[in-house]
Amino acid sequence: MHHALRLLSLLAALPSALCQLIQVIKVREDDLTFEPSSLTAPVGSRVQFHFDHHNISIASSAFDDPCRPDGRVFSGYVPVVGRSGVEGVFTVAIDDSEPLWYYGKLETDAACQKGLIGVINPLTSGPEELAAYARAAAGVAVDGGGGGGLLNVVGGTWEAVSAETSSTAVSGSSFGADGAMAATEAEEVSADRGLRRRRMRNGRRTAEPEREKLLWEASLLTE
């Protein structure tokens, strides 16, 4: 009993980042797809949408009303202007196991109707499947609007991430009414990249011995 309690306390002491699952969805505008278009994400994990270029938004919708936002998740339009080594990342925290149907919207194209759709935590059986959602989306009239009346970011947070995977948080107020990221944010990411890398290395050197000690003690208790 003592060993079990000690093991639980050691696991609780480990950084939460070691235990949190993060899954990535790439936004492929060239062929109008999300990669992957369907995934299962446990409660407490996070899903990141990675954008590398062009004006595009992500919005959730009801299964039976595709291509129209339901207000659960909306990224706003963010123009990723093709700056070398910088891409936008929209992160959604998974708070429940309900299916989250979503689609992509371009300012000048019917992306949702053409198949830029996806789902997080689809049902394992029944009619709510991605193929059925795609067929329903194909028949939706193009409304020409970006977010169907939505202007502000909902249900997620933005980051600007460099090619070296370092990142800086971007608050909702950093985006204008049209959802555009200020170019200065990307410039700050690039300029501050070296400093943050040094801080990350120093932080890892400081935390690594303690982490290794905790993992070693935990391994002894499980033998």
Mean pLDDT of 131-153: 76
pLDDT tens figures, 202-219: 544 444 555 566 556 655
Phi, psi of 23 (to 5 degrees): -115, 150
Query: What's the one-letter identity of residue 130?
Result: L
β-pairing, 38-39 vs 157-162, is: unpaired
E-assigned strand segments in the chain: 22-28, 33-35, 38-39, 46-51, 57-61, 86-93, 100-105, 117-120, 157-162, 167-170
Terminal CA-CA length for the chain: 14
Indicate if the pLDDT at residue 145 is higher than 50. Answer: no
pLDDT tens figures, 181-201: 433 343 343 344 444 445 545
d(C-alpha 169, C-alpha 74), whole Å: 17
Query: What's the one-letter identity of residue 77?
Result: Y
Query: What pLDDT is stored for residue 101 in this prediction?
Result: 97
Distances from the Cα of 32 to the Cα of 29, 144, 163, 209, angstroms: 5, 17, 23, 45
pLDDT tens figures, 47-68: 999 987 667 889 999 999 999 9
SS (H, E, C) 13-46: HCCHHHHCCEEEEEEECCCCEEECCEECCCCCCE
Q: How confident is the model at residue 30 (pLDDT cuts 50, 70, 90)?
A: confident
d(C-alpha 19, C-alpha 40), whole Å: 17
Q: Is the peptide bond before 36 cis (omega within 30 degrees of 0)?
A: yes
**CATH topology assigned to domain 20-202:** Immunoglobulin-like (2.60.40)
Q: What angle do CA 112, 54, 113 make, to 5 degrees?
A: 10
Q: Are 146 and 78 in contact (CB under 8 A)?
A: no
Mean pLDDT of 84-98: 86
